Amino acid sequence: MKLQVQAEPFDLGAESNAFAAGVLGAGAVVTFTGLVRDNGGALAAMEIEHYPGMTEKAIAAMMDQAMVRWSLADALVIHRYGRLAGGEAIMMVATASRHRADAFAAAEFLMDYLKSRAPFWKKELSADGAEWVAARDEDEAALGRW
């Protein structure tokens, strides 16, 4: 398992390749990447705040759960914080399993939990000022399916 919470950008291709190269025996790798939406050019930047310590603990717990539930060969989560521009990658998830259904389900599970249970807060900065992104009811409701 690999978990990184970092301010620096990450190399999506290199991370994906390294992950896939390390999961001999798995037949499926699923990766998901979250990008900063630029809101049609209106977004100047996104600032992501987090709770050092709790962030790592909360994500590691989700990953442990996913590893067991879907018998994953491996899992990876990279999540950034700090100031990001439109189009930049915020985070990525990768899962590997024997067959694809488990890797897809585990990736979705991790995404749903990261959205609502990992202590990150996003703030959008635009010409009109700064605004905290509100949590969406759909995101909270999505946890119910697991």
By CB under 8 A, residue 34 contacts another protein: yes
Nearer to another protein, 21 or 137 (CB): 137
Q: Give me 59's structure tokens.
A: 């994500």
Asked if 87 interacts with another protein (CB under 8 A), we say no
Q: Please report whether residue 133 would count as binding another protein according to CB under 8 A.
A: yes
Q: Which residue in the set 16, 83, 117, 125 belongs to the binding site for another protein (CB under 8 A)? A: 117
Distance, in Å, from the CA atom of 47 to the CA atom of 124, rounded to the nearest integer, reads: 7
What is the DSSP secondary structure assignment for residue 5, as one 8-state letter? Answer: E
Identify the residue among 1, 7, 54, 141 touching another protein (CB under 8 A).
Answer: 54
d(CA 122, CA 49): 7
Residues 6 or more apart whose CB falls under 8 angstroms from that of 65 comprise: 109
Nearest to 87 by CA among 38, 134, 145, 141: 38
- Asked whether position 121 contacts another protein by CB under 8 A, the answer is yes
Give contact residues for another protein (rule: CB under 8 A).
34, 49, 51, 53-54, 57-58, 79, 90-91, 111, 114-123, 132-135, 140
